[in-house]
Structure 1
């Protein structure tokens, strides 16, 4: 093999190793760990009844980590009214500006039509979690919620609000690295 060919192979191998090598930033608590992008900064916060951390993304956005009995559940709903109900409330002089209404209120309420986020379930480290992502990137919350992750019924919620597309992708990828300490 000639020298030029060896140099090309060496450069390609070096480039491949450098580009695929990933630096990790581990957010470690006494209850769980998660690997985050290297350029995100962790801030420990003193919680009253839970283990709280804040992570600041490269773009300066905050992601909140809360582990404890009272961590936020992802059980958002919006009451949806029928058009007839809205007309009746308006006739009574009620303010209906912030009410949701449709031709099929039961279906729209059950399907979360007026929520800002989509929800789906995943299993990470043998624990079922519920993920939410905004319907419109940058407008809403991205997060994960685990219920009863230990024998004390503690919960974990991680939430970022109005994250840009890159930060949203990064935190969703990081969710897959969560490990619970049992």
Structure 2
């Protein structure tokens, strides 16, 4: 099995090869699949991420959630260790935050992980056991550790599925993985 560092490099190389058109089409399919989930449909509050260049764009899902009357929160980097959820009222309201990532304005209302119904999670790679490889800072693992009963649903392109992701004790297992081509329900 590849180390986390080796798998990160391999996945970054793989994702850099996707065209903007492929990313847009696959992202639209992911958003449609996520919006069809019972967890999404029953949710009052969701947390979605505002994508970086080689991540699924959930902008379409965020627009849908706002139109559906859901409370939408996005991650905000508080410091080098923590993210928190901040309310986003419109996509146009997003501001440029830490690391050049779009985020919610810092004065918007905050929410704790265990107050959310669904948390959509980005990553570089996922396996069928629900393991996730992030970028290495463990922001999401720390945030998800306090999620309580909230569903942690990975949003990814199918090319991000790999046979095995190396796991450490602090890594949080996803409840579902949704890609442009499939929906994996993870059974603990």
Q: What TM-score results when the alignment is normalised by the length of structure 2? A: 0.21
Greater C-alpha radius of gyration = 1
Q: What TM-score results when the alignment is normalised by the length of structure 1? A: 0.21
Greater per-residue helix proportion: 2
Greater per-residue strand proportion: 1
